Structure 1
Amino acid sequence: MKKLLETKAVQRGTHTLASGLSVVAQRAPLLKEAGVLAESVPSLFRLAAPLGIHFLTTHAVSGASTTVKPATGFTNPADATAGEPFNWIFRTSPETAEDYTITGLPPGVTFTFNPRAAGGYQYLAGSPSAGGTYQVTIIGWRYPNHSGGSEAKTTYNLVVNVATPATPWDSWREAQGWTAGQLADPAVSGPDADPEHDGIPNSLEYVLDLDPRAPSSMPGKVEDDPTSPATHYVYSLPLNPGATDATVGFEASSDLGGTGWSAIGPSDPTYPVTRTATEIRIRIPKNLGQRFIRLAASL
């Protein structure tokens, strides 16, 4: 009888101690889960079984055993393109954060906390306005007003890679067959370069859809204006419809000197200019005396 009472007392003590360890393990702020001791193990030997303790990653919410996790399908690093819509969805788990501090977002991307979001999911959304690599810091808070405990905060670090899309000019240059070295040399492939020495810079070769690696003649034609043939000419040139990033217009001068050229406005009453996707035309009076007109383009 005495032996039986001693055995039960030891069992009660063991139950109490094992239960106490489990509670401590479950409440520790850096513990993800506490292992449950198998019921099949005799009570006198339960303390010999190790507690299965797994530590969190450093992406933890301050004041709670919770991690910031991207929603399914959203990765870290995240990829975006300047000028195009971007969003990145995340939440905290298993606890739901009551507030967030987020810094380092790409320009054009914003975060507005929605405390009533379904499932606790939150959004980074917008259209990045500049390319680059951005280090975004996300801190989830256990309670509103950026609170949740006095212990050191831990954060989630998100990398957002924002690519700059190739412009039509870049695509045209790469399609010309220049080598990597020539593409990197502005004296060969830059907009002001004239590598084939035909008097037409690359920017105009692009606008007129000419071959910048072979000498070309300036396209276009001058003819009497069909609406007023006695008083006006019309100078027309075909345009590359893919050169959507180019500003094209005309310049006028009374001589061929390098400093005498002035831009002709699109609504100039003397030289009215019209442009479509495939052609640009300028109407020129015949009674102006000696006058030089040239096409100009900028990217």
Structure 2
Amino acid sequence: PETEWLRGTFAAQRAGIVIRQFRARGFYPQVEPGDIAPFGGALGAEDKITLTTPEPAATLYYTTDGSDPRVSVTGAISPTATAASGPVAPPGNLSFLLKTRVLKDGVWSALTEARFTSAVPPAAAALAISEIHYHPADPTPQETTAGFTDADQFEFLEITNRSAQTVALNSLRFAAGIDFDFATGSQVHELAAGASLVLASDRGAFAMRYGFEPAGVFANGTRLANNGEQIKLVTASGAVIADITWQDNGDWPEAADGGGKSLTLLAPASGSDGTTASQWRAAAPTPGAVVETLTFADWRSDFFSTDELADPSISGPQADPDHDGLPNLLEYLTVSHPRRASPAPLTVVTLPEPGKIRFEWPVRPGTAASSVLLQLSPDLQTWSASLTAPTSLPTTQGVVLMQVDPALSSSHGFARLTGNIVAP
């Protein structure tokens, strides 16, 4: 009962009692402050803010740039302040701090302020861990002289907003991999559509190597492992935004392990969740800049040595170094591995309707100037493109699934995929 009384009665009444005591001694103005409704939070594009004052014959002044409506020392009306005369429309910026004071007979009220934002809550569809630089290159002589002697000091993670809306970040934290809480550790609390931010192991080391400061620094001395680990980003309620368990071997790009390259998510905008090795490549670090398109030339350099790149019988578009029947061009277009035998990417699905079938195949998202076409033949001699246009279905696995239900003129036949690309 005592606890309930403290919370429900004493604490609820105490603020008003203290203010009356302060006023009796001249420590708090007699003019009542204004009211803000809603009192902060998210606003839609058409929403308005209502400002009211309980004081008769008084004027409420407000600012939306974070400044005080009252000029310090002189008590004059700030040139940035506006007299409230009706509902207030949000300014054009993504978030803002609204400050109000009431002026009556030359006396100002206490300050009332509320923070507003147009950002939406975080969701897995909106945010992606787009780069993991877990084993950076060793420090240069200049970096060593500056006191950055450990390659681990240059580690970083990149997070990208692939949605069309600004996303609020304060509810996010890492539950595995590193320690970091956006509410307390980040200098960035909202991420604009298409923008990226970086969290780094060491602020000074990162700034020296890349020329700008990260949004935050890994907490409690945590670092990224060099031999693979789980990285998990969650909300305050426990909802999973990203959960990636990467390795430094197997199908995962090994060039990111100590060669100075980063694990870079392919085509984040396509909805890739980063859970499979095929969604990543090893590339030069590009913190804060997301590259959506992987060219055929870049893809070849990921899988073939300098000598092999000079030999078209190994790395050329028609070569088949793993002897699985798929030339390198189709391996690239269908997100397959040219050094490991892969099953055919074309799948046939029997539909419930009599005589109807569906062909499905994966295509690399954002592939520059390329296409994969379905061709049909009755005899393996004469081939023609399917006259039915395929539909595309984005997935979370780093591919776009193509589907087509062709009109068949015979109960039997053959199908194949052909690839075309314009070299960059």
TM-score, normalised relative to structure 2? 0.27
TM-score, normalised relative to structure 1? 0.38
Q: Which of the pair has the greater relative contact order for Cα pairs under 8 Å at 6+ separation?
A: 1
Q: For the pair shown, which has the larger CA radius of gyration, 1 or 2?
A: 1
